[in-house]
Amino acid sequence: MKNSQTDKICLWCLAREPKVTFVKKAHTIPKSLGGQNYNNNVCDDCNYYFGNRDSHNGKYSIEVALKEAFSISRKRFLLGGIPKRKVGEFKSQFFEMKERNGKYRLAVRPSYMFASQIELCRAFKRGLYKMYLEELNRQYGKGFELDYNIIRHFARYNFSDLPVLYFTRRIGVMIFFKSEAETPILYFDRMNYLYSDNKFVEIEFLGHVFGFPITDFSVEEFEDYAQKSIEMKKDFFVEAKVIEKFTDVDISLSIMNS
């Protein structure tokens, strides 16, 4: 029998080898968004789950929700001043980017009208948590702690609901490198306006800032956190809102037009 100390454990289902296998490469950020990093602690079952529709109660896979939101932002970064036709088509089922005189705006396809906004937003929020825990684990070796079970329940098992704050920028000036859009990674503490404590964290991804709880919390604690956070970043951000639908997020980064 193998020494259980050396058996791998899955970050999500916490099952060990050989009960689960670790054959497939699990991208922490979808490959379709240019993600190139893997997390070696995601079992094949959990990896499959995030890439496919939940057969019981989901219309959209987590990967699709992330791709739909962030491929638009990513293209917006990559575009810079280049005419759209040279960057290629936006492969999105819901959106397209319209350009006029170098300004871009998001156009909604009819399919978006018929989409379930609640489900799409839910899959998106779960996707943020998925990227968060896998990148936290990859970058810092953390994440197995049972305190993170609220993330597992929501992201991996589709139970309960967790609030996600989105911060609206004051001005469209962002520090980024072109390589960041080509192969985006998740930032935890690059900018000193990103708040974190033992219950709430903020991440920056492709120009967007999100904040959310990572362990058990009360409503009062959440409100307190939101207040402290917006106060500390008021020079750069106008407001914070709890996202309820996909388009609460400025996915086309229209702020960059101004």
Positions touching Zn ion (CB under 5 A) are 10, 12-13, 43, 46
The radius of gyration of the chain's CA atoms, rounded to the nearest angstrom, is 18
Show Cβ contacts of residue 49 under 8 Å, excluding neighbours closer than 6 positions: 156
13 vs 255, beta carbon nearer Zn ion: 13
Other CB atoms within 10 A of residue 169 CB: 20
Cα 255 from Cα 153, distance rounded (Å) = 34
Question: Which residues on neighbouring strands pair with residue 165, listed in sequence order?
Answer: 211, 242
**Which CB atom, from 9 or from 87, has the smaller least distance to Zn ion?**
9
CB of 196 to Zn ion, least distance (A): 26
Closer CB to Zn ion, residue 48 or residue 176? 48
Q: Which is nearer to Zn ion, 26 or 256 (CB)?
A: 26
Beta carbon nearer to Zn ion, 46 or 120? 46
- In the bound complex, what is the minimum distance in angstroms from residue 160's beta carbon to Zn ion? 19
CB of 252 to Zn ion, least distance (A): 34
CB of 18 to Zn ion, least distance (A): 13
What is the distance between the alpha carbons of residues 164 and 208, in angstroms, rounded to a whole number?
A: 12
Q: How far is the CB of 4 from Zn ion (least distance, A)?
A: 17
Q: Which is nearer to Zn ion, 46 or 206 (CB)?
A: 46
Closest contact distance (angstroms) between CB of 154 and Zn ion is 15
Q: Which is nearer to Zn ion, 67 or 152 (CB)?
A: 152
Distance CA 155, CA 133 (A): 10
Q: How far apart are CA 211 and CA 147, in angstroms?
A: 17
Q: C-beta of 157: minimal distance to Zn ion in Å?
A: 11
Strands (E), the chain: 95-100, 103-108, 165-169, 200-205, 208-213, 237-242
What does DSSP assign to residue 60? S
